Amino acid sequence: MIFTGAYEHGIDGKNRLAIPAKWRGRLKPERDGNGFYIAPGQPKTRLWLYTETQFETLAEKFQSEFLPDEDMLRFEQEFFPRAELVDIDTQGRILIPEKMLKAAGLGKDVMVCGVRDHIEIRGRDEYESQSDDGLERFREYQLKARQAMQTFQRRVGKEPDAT
C-alpha cells in the first residue's frame, strides 16, 4: 500500500492516535496484516509506522539481501528491540507506547504523513516550520529525479516521458 498526504491529528490522553480514515479504508488484512509496527524514525523526532506485512517483508530483506557485517548487526540490535507491533482498535486508533513518544519528543498535536511505504508521525510545529523549506527542497529533488530518469531512459533506449 502506498501512503500519501498529510493529516493533522491529536494524540489523546491515553496515547491513542487515529489512523486517517482515507488510509484505514484501503487497508486489507489479507494483504497488509492486522496492525502496524511502530519504530523510531529519522530524524529522531519522528516515529514511523509500517503495515504488519510491509515491516515483516523489510525484515526478511535485511536478513536475505545484506551481508551480516558489523554495521548491520548493530542496526538490528538497536532497531528491532525498539520496534513494536500495535493493533488497530475498533475506532481505528493505535496505542503509541509512552517511551516512544518521549524518545521522539512528540506532544499531543501531530501530523500524520504518508511517505510511500510507511507513515511518519511528526510534531505539528516541526511540520509547519519545515513546510516552506521542504517545498523548495522538494522542487530541487524533483528536478534531479527527473534528470536521472531521463538519463536512465536514454541508456535503456527509451524516449523520456514529457512529464
Per-residue pLDDT of the chain (163 residues; tens, 9 = 90+): 899 999 999 999 999 999 999 999 999 999 999 999 999 999 999 999 999 999 999 888 776 555 567 777 888 888 899 999 999 999 999 999 999 999 999 999 999 999 999 999 999 999 988 776 666 777 777 888 888 888 888 888 765 555 5
What type of residue is 68?
Answer: P
Residue 157's pLDDT is what?
Answer: 75
10 SS3 class: strand
- Full residue range of the structural domain in which residue 76 is found: 6-124
Residue 68's pLDDT is what?
Answer: 62
**Strand blocks (E) in 19-160:** 35-40, 47-51, 84-87, 93-95, 109-115, 118-123
> Domain for residue 162, yes or no?
no
The grid coordinates of residue 57 equal 517483508
Report the number of distinct structural domains present in the chain.
1
CB within 8 A of 17, min separation 6: which ones?
9, 10, 11, 93, 94, 96, 110, 112, 121
Distance CA 74, CA 58 (A): 17
Residue 142's pLDDT is what?
Answer: 81
Residue 63: CATH number of its domain: 3.40.1550.20
Residue 141's pLDDT is what?
Answer: 78
> Domain for residue 136, yes or no?
no
Selection from 110, 120, 141, 128 nearest residue 9 by Cα? 110
> Domain for residue 72, yes or no?
yes
N residues, the chain? 163
The verdict on pTM exceeding 0.85 is: no
**Phi, psi (5° rounding) for residue 130?**
-95, -5
Beta bridge partners, 40, equal: 47
> Domain for residue 141, yes or no?
no
